[in-house]
């Protein structure tokens, strides 16, 4: 590989990073470790690398030590695994100091794993990103043998979304009439289109989100797994979206597809769901009270981004509301469950802090009575539960019933807590 071309690519990225407006994100890195960043497409993995570079420069690292290469660059079309050593030679030409290697979309190059292992074994500092089509977290362990830590990256949470839009959300802003209006207007956008960083300044946000979905569906799922029945895959993902909030076993989903003329086996349904989870498109929440087998086979499924779910729904704010709560809890806690038994039906339970969460679009309908009844049942029968919350769309109040305190919090304010 021509060394001058590599240097041009590295220097061009230096200029891009220098001028890039970085949004602070809630991720911590051990700079003595090597990382692979994984997660949903377009979640902001590359911009996190930019942030790491800027932090290094601020701490005294020279720009010549920063080797940032995006392998989607058209100047690298003829790059092969045989050219990887040229990267090390170029780094040595730029400085005698230790380098920091940022390798974006490295999975494009066949044989990248050997180079990544060699860098780690040589005690270099390395950060890697890759699309989910060829780089899943389960395979990283297989290919890189514990040399790298895996960091799961999500699109913006609501605080990061507001920060990126330069909207204040401190306590004063939450209380103020005009400033609260700005927050709630931004929330409406976040609620319907999600937190993909590149979507913020686009007019056609739905079109952008749709293009991401197509790349996940056709690339990360269909192409990677050699799926021929694309139509069946598309319809299955639509039916999962329409079933958000509800328990959905493999058998139930198979029967739903069968009744509308989709002829695939239950084993294929199981495979397709596995591919969707591997691609970070959906995740499962299981019943806290179920036996292990039932937990695995009869979960609730949620989409990892509200914007993606919203592509399938028409006038279904309640599903979007519960999906956003599920995303937030899933990204924050290691374990979340729903609660379902004979007398108890609650949307979420977090064992880590003993919180039961119900989701209710409004407290002005009959469903409110059932949800409160379930909370009271949880308070009475679950020793591990000691906080009870109802997430609403806009209502806020505090209730105390039979000695049980219940907080009702609007979703936008809950996201800022």
Output the pLDDT for position 108: 86
355-384 pLDDT, tens digit per residue, is 999 999 998 765 568 889 999 999 999 999
250 by Cβ neighbours in 10 Å (0-12 / 13-18 / 19+) ranks as: middle
Torsion region of 154: left, alpha or beta (phi above 0 gives left; psi -120 to 50 gives alpha): beta
Burial class of residue 176 in the structure, from the number of CB atoms within 10 Å of its CB (0-12 exposed, 13-18 middle, 19+ buried): middle
pLDDT of residue 224: 85
Which residue carries 């799961």 as its tokens? 152
For the chain, which ranges sit under pLDDT 70?
Answer: 131-139, 141, 365-368
Q: How far apart are CA 314 and CA 283, in angstroms?
A: 22
> What does the pLDDT look like over 275-309, one tens digit per residue?
999 899 999 999 999 887 777 788 999 999 999 99
Q: What pTM value is reported for the model?
A: 0.93
Range(s) within the chain of domains with CATH label 3.40.50.300: 3-153
* CATH superfamily of this structure's domain 3-153: P-loop containing nucleotide triphosphate hydrolases (3.40.50.300)
Strands 355-359 and 387-392, by their bridges, are: parallel
Distances (CA, A) of 5 to 73, 106, 203, 364: 11, 17, 36, 65
pLDDT for res 260 = 95
């Amino acid at each position: 590989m021509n060394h001058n071309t590599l240097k041009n690519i590295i220097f061009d990225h230096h200029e891009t990073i220098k001028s890039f407006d970085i949004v602070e994100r809630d991720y911590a890195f051990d700079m003595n470790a090597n990382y692979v960043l994984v997660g949903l497409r377009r979640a902001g993995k590359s911009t996190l690398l930019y942030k790491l570079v800027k932090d290094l420069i601020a701490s005294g690292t020279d720009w010549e030590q920063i080797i940032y290469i995006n392998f989607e660059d058209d100047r690298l079309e003829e790059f092969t695994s045989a050219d990887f050593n040229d990267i090390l030679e170029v780094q040595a030409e730029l400085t005698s100091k230790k380098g920091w290697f940022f390798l974006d979309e490295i999975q494009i190059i066949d044989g990248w794993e050997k180079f990544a292992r060699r860098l780690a074994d040589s005690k270099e500092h390395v950060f890697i990103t890759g699309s989910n089509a060829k780089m899943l977290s389960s395979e990283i362990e297989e290919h890189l043998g514990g040399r790298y830590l895996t960091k799961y990256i999500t699109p913006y949470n609501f605080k990061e979304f507001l920060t990126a839009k330069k909207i204040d959300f401190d306590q004063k802003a939450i209380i103020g009439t005009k400033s609260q209006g700005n927050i709630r207007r931004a929330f409406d956008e976040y609620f319907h289109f999600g937190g993909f960083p590149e979507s913020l300044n686009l007019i056609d946000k739905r079109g952008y989100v749709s293009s991401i979905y197509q790349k996940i569906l056709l690339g990360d799922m269909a192409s990677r797994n050699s799926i021929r029945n694309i139509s069946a895959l598309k319809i299955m993902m639509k039916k999962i979206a329409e079933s958000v909030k509800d328990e959905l076993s493999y058998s139930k989903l198979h029967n739903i597809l069968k009744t509308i003329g989709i002829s695939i086996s239950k084993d294929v349904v199981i495979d397709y769901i596995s591919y969707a989870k591997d691609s970070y498109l959906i995740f499962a929440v299981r019943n806290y009270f179920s036996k292990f087998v039932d937990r695995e086979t009869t979960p609730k499924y949620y989409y990892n981004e509200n914007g993606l779910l919203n592509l399938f729904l028409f006038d279904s704010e309640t599903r979007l509301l519960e999906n956003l709560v599920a995303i937030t809890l899933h990204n924050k806690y290691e374990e979340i469950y729903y609660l379902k038994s004979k007398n108890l039906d609650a949307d979420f339970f977090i064992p880590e802090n003993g919180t039961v969460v119900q989701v209710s679009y409004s407290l002005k309908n009959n469903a409110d009575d059932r949800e409160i009844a379930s909370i009271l049942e949880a308070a009475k029968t679950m020793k591990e539960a000691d906080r009870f919350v109802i997430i609403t769309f806009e209502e806020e109040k505090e209730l105390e019933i039979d000695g049980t305190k219940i907080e009702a919090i609007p979703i936008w304010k809950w996201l800022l807590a």
